[in-house]
């Protein structure tokens, strides 16, 4: 909760904004405006605003009035992955597999992977995360059945940290075709496991993945299959495992904490 300046004039406030994703999710205009008004109200009660990515910063500068409030960008860090444990798996793939994780809703765009898998013989797709939108989940499952992929496309639901780590360490590649991200932490987790990552080129993802990732510029299945094939070939030919691990390690909670500490000290 943001303090009310009228009651707590002596309290300095640091506000962290993760995203303005409502602007990028094809929401009704009134819902977008309501979201921005809510953020603006919190900005008006803050001394410093921190954004977790340059993309979020640009959104805030474009759609909000900062006035005299200072604005900083401090990226998130990543935690070490838990020890991978096959004994706790909800589902254990029997073939090479693509892995994705996140709330399974329209924003995450996971349905595009069904047609992609239809073009990949001998592969599986495993998607973990909360099954967020019943109608969207039903549409994915209908498409899976229509294309005869019920034994190769798996929605596991939420998984433990140990399961997530196992999937990240054993997948052939990580896929994240999301349409709206303020940051994209799973991308860096996959990179920390030395995996090739395939992302959409939307919102903050190109900033987080950088040159160490591969990007879907559109979601036509033949094109996605081509990006996947070419990216895996490049990753393996150029032995990019150390490159992606190094990129992930450049995001540190220690550096994040130090940057916040400097802000807090400046407000004393």
Query: In terms of DSSP bridges, do strands 197-200 and 214-216 run parallel, antiparallel, or are they unpaired?
Result: parallel
116/64 same-domain check: no
- The pLDDT, as a whole number, for residue 10 is 66
Query: How many whole angstroms separate alpha carbon 192 and alpha carbon 210?
Result: 14
* 7 inside domain: no
* 156 inside domain: yes
* 90 inside domain: yes
Per-residue model confidence as pLDDT tens digits over 150-207: 999 999 999 999 999 999 999 999 999 999 999 999 999 999 999 999 999 999 999 9
Q: Residue 186 CA to chain centroid, in angstroms?
A: 6
Note down the domain range covering 257. Answer: 14-77+252-267
User: DSSP character for 10?
Assistant: T
Q: How many structural domains compose the chain?
A: 2
What average pLDDT score do residues 45-73 get?
96
121/169 same-domain check: yes
C-alpha separations of 198 from 40, 60, 95, 136, 224 in Å? 34, 27, 19, 22, 9
Closest CA to 137 of 108, 179, 95, 177: 108
Per-residue model confidence as pLDDT tens digits over 206-265: 999 999 999 999 999 999 999 999 999 999 999 999 999 999 999 999 999 999 999 999
155/104 same-domain check: yes
- The pLDDT, as a whole number, for residue 183 is 95
């Amino acid at each position: 909760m943001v303090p009310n300046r009228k009651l707590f004039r002596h309290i300095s406030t640091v506000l962290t904004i993760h995203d303005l994703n409502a602007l990028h999710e094809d929401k009704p205009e009134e819902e977008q405006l309501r979201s921005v008004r809510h953020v603006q109200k919190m900005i008006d009660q803050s001394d410093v605003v921190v954004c977790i990515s340059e993309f979020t910063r640009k959104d805030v500068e474009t759609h909000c009035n900062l006035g005299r409030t200072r604005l900083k960008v401090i990226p998130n860090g990543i935690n070490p992955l838990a020890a991978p444990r096959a004994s706790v798996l909800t589902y254990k793939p029997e073939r090479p597999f693509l892995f994705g994780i996140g709330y399974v809703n329209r924003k995450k765009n996971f349905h595009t992977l069904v047609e992609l898998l239809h073009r990949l013989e001998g592969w599986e797709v495993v998607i973990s995360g909360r099954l967020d939108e019943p109608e969207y989940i039903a549409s994915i499952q209908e498409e899976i059945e229509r294309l005869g992929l019920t034994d190769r496309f798996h929605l596991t639901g939420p998984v433990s940290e140990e399961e997530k780590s196992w999937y990240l360490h054993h997948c052939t590649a990580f896929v994240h075709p999301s349409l709206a991200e303020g940051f994209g932490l799973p991308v860096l987790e996959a990179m920390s496991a030395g995996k090739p990552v395939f992302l959409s080129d939307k919102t903050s993802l190109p900033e987080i993945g950088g040159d160490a990732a591969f990007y879907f510029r559109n979601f036509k299945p033949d094109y996605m299959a081509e990006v996947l094939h070419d990216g895996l070939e490049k990753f393996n030919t150029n032995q990019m495992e150390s490159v992606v691990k190094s990129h992930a390690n450049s995001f540190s909670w220690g550096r994040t904490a130090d940057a916040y500490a400097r802000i807090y000290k400046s407000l004393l």
